[in-house]
Amino acid sequence: MRRSEQVNRASRLANVPLRNGRLSHDIDPSDRPPQDACGVFGVWVPADQASRAEVSKLTYYGLYALQHRGQESAGIAVSDGSRIVVFKDMGLVAQVFDESVLNTLRGHIAVGHCRYSTTGSPTWENAQPTFRSTDTGGLALVHNGNLINTPELAARLEPGVLTATTDTEVLTALLATSGTAGEDAPAAGDTADPGPLAAAREILPATRGAYSLVFMDEGTLYAARDPEGIRPLVLGNLEDRGWVVASETAALDIVGARFVREIEPGEMVAIDGAGVRSERFAEARPKGCLFEYVYLARPDTTIAGRSVQATRVEVGRRLAREHPVEADMVIPTPESGTPAAIGYAEASGIPYGQGLVKNSYVGRTFIQPSQTIRQLGIRLKLNPLRETIEGKRLVVVDDSIVRGNTQRAIVSMLRDAGAAEVHVRISSPPVAWPCFYGIDFATRAELIAGNLSVEEIRDSIGADSLGFISLDELISASRIPKDNLCRACFDGVYPIEVEQDARGKHLLEAGRS
């Protein structure tokens, strides 16, 4: 019998509505906001604790906490020490997994993933974890980020090896076919099978782009972060001598793990019965994503020792000082604009209020309205509180503007409800450049700030005034040195040079039917 096997399932959620391959989730379904990065999670517990720890359920809850980072597909791989079983499907975490499925995923090591596609189409084949058989067993891997030298890496593989069209599939295939026990000596104190470690030592230094990886063989959990540390990755400890790796500290909190530290840029760790062992595969060149503080991360997450909620509130205070206005009420665009709106109200002295009600059940899978239905003005996501805003001068705080359609709809909605004035304040600088490191922004041609001035954007969305936080103030609020942050979506300065042929989301699908 093979030591590893993968259990697959055809998607039973094929009717999840997609727009151009993306789940819609905004007030205007045609206006796609910045699409989230993916969420990764991994857990290791001693084999004698497996039945009590229920690693598949810990992973389920961890992914639930990270659902905001990806809503297209979800998956979990579990090892019982002798084989790896993978279960994945299209849809949200709660749609893919139920009690009966989780009860079949038994073991003491697990990795999990919730995906938004930044390389490759949103298909079942591209869902993660990815799995490969190796000479010694199997390898399951999950990935948050986006590689920029995928074609170069894929050229190392034999033709026909790839079964999916993602950079994650390329990495998994390379790690499964490179580095054997005889080719590389284990690191000092390393008692585990050196196969995955040897492969990672060979492959990761040649891998360019953003990658926070969690992977496993039958007996060991591994994690690695790119030298720039663009995407977050943290390590936590469970009371029963177990260990957890996750994209955000909020996922550690959900499963009762204690935050230990961040996985450092250029670091790889291996976790097994010998504990946590660390080694460097590259020199650290920190360039953490500034947009994590603006939009991507949960407000209850901590990044680089700084609370995301506290950062967003502070950004709101600074926004009020940079762009003051006489008004009667500050309201957020729920819910991403809420922390900054609180800060704006605090610093300005203008009362904070609720002017828009969010329908929490619209989610990301509602039926797409036809043009005729849209013309009726049906508000799928937000609705104004007329009695609260009528006759008021409003400051509306949001996290970002991408195309401008959502802000245009909100301004129009508030005016229809009787607002006397609508002043829009944005808690990020203008997003004028696309991201190639794991956030699927629109192209530069589609970004409203890539083509219009601030005054032209104000006129386009119909606001009485418009103000963006400056880049310097946003950076200062994060308390991270400017040179340690990736700010490319705001200033066009990319910390890792991007080749033109690496910029296509579907670059591995060319020529496929």
Q: Which residues are catalytic?
A: 38
H or E segment to which residue 8 belongs: none
Q: Which residues of 130-154 are buried (b: 16+ CB within 10 A; e: fewer)?
A: bbbbbebbbbbbbbbbbbbbbbbbb
- Cβ pair 17, 216 in contact under 8 A: no
Nearest partner of 43 among 306, 228, 242, judged by Cα: 242
Which residue in 507, 427, 432, 437 sits closest to 474, CA to CA? 427
The interaxial angle of helices 405-416 and 454-461, nearest 10 deg, is 50
Q: Are 174 and 156 in contact (CB under 8 A)?
A: yes
Number of CB atoms found within 10 A of residue 240's CB: 12
CA 416-419-423 angle, to 5 degrees, is 115
Distance of alpha carbon 25 from alpha carbon 34, whole angstroms: 11
CA pseudo-torsion sign 174, 177, 183, 188:
positive
The CA distance from 156 to 453, in Å, is: 45
CA distance to 15, 135, 243, 335, 449, per residue, from 381 (Å): 21, 51, 39, 11, 24
Rounded to whole angstroms, how far apart are CA atoms 285 and 229?
8
Per this entry, what is the length of the chain?
513
| Local structure of 466: helix, strand or coil | strand
| 469 SS3 class | coil
d(CA 357, CA 333): 9
User: Angle at CA 50, nearest 5°, toward 46 and 56?
Assistant: 115
- Residue 41 has which token pair? 């999670």
Could you give the CA distance from residue 110 to residue 358 in angstroms, rounded to a whole number?
35
- Please tell me the distance from the alpha carbon of residue 87 to that of residue 209, in angstroms, as a whole number: 28
Task: For 326, list phi and psi in degrees, rounded to 5.
Answer: -80, 125
Distance, CA of 310 to CA of 306 (rounded, Å)? 8
CA 262 to chain centre: 16
Distance, CA of 184 to CA of 198 (rounded, Å): 6
* Alpha helices by DSSP H, 178-208: 195-203
